[in-house]
């Protein structure tokens, strides 16, 4: 029988749906009977979802402007050579 | 993939980039730089990461002709960034040893008794939404601190997969790890983040 500790070891694969059908079923059965593991899986999920919210930061306009500048400079120097190639 | 650009739109963008269309580059810089910067940040400090992203765009101008579209544009760009960062690390620092061992974090393993049941079960349900939790600046700082303490490949795997919603095969591709090693990296990184968030929720401290 699947114990709480075994479940913790495959919890990450369970969350991602990477378990085999039989393993997946035994996790589901365990979760039906075990409140602690339900909390654990819920929290593991929630803590990884945090990362999505956390990384939603954007680079500032200043960086984008600097990239635009370098790109347009680079395009200028490359364009004539490309034309010669064609 | 909800974050992916529609294939037709991406196709015409790539065509325009190949033509050297400056408007297309402006658009692409806006669309793709946030993700590229995030990838670079897994490896490098903020200013080095910005530097790398700028350099990569110049590389893209020369390399886009070779882009065959087997992977999506985003994956291709992220791979360029990751490779450059790895080269930079290699030239400046020690090679980071990667731990692919399975099993539980010691701190978590201690919480089960000899029969494999919870001895110290998770107490609180993390019930607040991720967005409202992130409004908590202290938690956000704590997450930053713990993310930067993760081994490089664990952090990269977690962020590419979780935060940037790359498919498993793309993450394997970008990081150059096997599918089973990716599973282990995610498994270990998630346990650490779980333990960190739990401590933070219980004590309010990082
Ligand atoms: Zn259990």
Segment A20-40, tens digit of pLDDT: 999 999 999 999 999 999 999
Instruction: Please report whether residue A42 resides in a domain.
Output: yes
- Residue B124 DSSP code: S
SS3 (DSSP) at B135: coil
Coil vs helix vs strand at B101: coil
pLDDT for B99? 64
B102/A9 touch (CB, cutoff 8 Å), yes or no: yes
Residue B97 pLDDT = 54
> Do residue B126 and residue A55 have CB atoms under 8 angstroms apart?
no
Query: Residue A17: its pLDDT value, please?
Result: 93
State in Å: Cα A15 to ligand 1 middle.
15
In whole angstroms, what is the distance from residue A30 CA to residue B119 CA? 17
Tell whether the model's pLDDT for residue A46 goes beyond 50: yes
Q: What is the pLDDT of residue B170?
A: 85
B194/B48 Cα distance (integer angstroms): 29
Asked whether B186 and A12 are in contact (CB, 8 A), the reply is: yes
* Residues whose CB is less than 8 angstroms from the CB of residue B81 and which lie 6 or more positions away in sequence, other chains included: B36, B39, B40, B52, B53, B56
Interface predicted TM-score of the whole assembly (ipTM), two decimals: 0.71
Contacts of B102 in chain A (CB under 8 A): 9
B50 touches A59 (CB < 8 A): yes
What confidence score (pLDDT) does residue A84 get?
A: 46
- Choices 3.40.50.620, 1.10.10.10, 2.40.50.140, 1.20.140.10: CATH for B106-203: 1.10.10.10
User: Percent of chain A beyond pLDDT 90?
Assistant: 65
Instruction: Measure A61 CA to ligand 1 centroid, in angstroms.
Output: 49
Residue A3 pLDDT exceeds 50: yes
Query: Which residues of chain B are within 8 Å of residue A3 when distances are taken between CB atoms?
Result: 112, 115-117
The reply to whether residue A68 touches residue B25, judged by beta carbons under 8 angstroms, is yes
With a cut of 70, which residues of chain B have pLDDT below it?
1-5, 7, 92-101, 127-134
In CATH, the architecture of B7-91 is Orthogonal Bundle (1.10)
């Amino acid at each position: 029988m699947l114990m709480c500790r075994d479940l913790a070891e495959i919890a990450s694969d369970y969350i991602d749906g990477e378990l085999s059908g039989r393993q997946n079923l035994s996790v589901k059965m365990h979760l039906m009977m075990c409140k602690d593991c339900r909390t654990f899986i819920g929290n593991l999920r929630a803590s990884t979802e945090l990362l999505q919210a956390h990384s939603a930061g954007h680079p500032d306009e200043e960086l984008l402007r600097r990239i635009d500048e370098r790109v347009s400079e680079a395009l200028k120097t490359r364009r004539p050579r490309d034309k010669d190639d064609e | 993939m909800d974050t992916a650009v529609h294939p037709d739109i991406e196709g015409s963008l790539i065509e325009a980039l190949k033509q050297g269309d400056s408007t297309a580059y402006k658009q692409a810089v806006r669309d793709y730089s946030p993700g590229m910067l995030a990838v670079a940040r897994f490896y490098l400090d903020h200013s080095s990461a910005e530097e790398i992203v700028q350099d990569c765009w110049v590389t893209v101008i020369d390399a886009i002709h070779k882009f065959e579209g087997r992977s999506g544009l985003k994956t291709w760009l992220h791979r360029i960034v990751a490779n450059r960062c790895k080269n930079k690390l290699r030239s400046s620092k020690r090679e980071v040893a990667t731990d692919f061992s399975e099993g539980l974090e010691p701190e978590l393993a201690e919480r089960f008794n000899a029969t494999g049941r919870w001895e110290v079960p998770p107490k609180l349900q993390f019930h607040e939404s991720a967005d409202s939790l992130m409004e908590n600046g202290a938690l956000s700082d704590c997450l930053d601190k713990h993310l930067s303490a993760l081994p490089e490949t664990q952090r990269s795997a977690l962020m590419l997969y979780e935060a940037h919603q790359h498919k498993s095969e793309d993450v394997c591709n970008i990081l150059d790890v096997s599918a089973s090693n990716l599973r282990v990296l995610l498994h270990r990184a998630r346990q650490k983040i779980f333990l960190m968030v739990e401590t933070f929720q219980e004590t309010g401290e990082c």
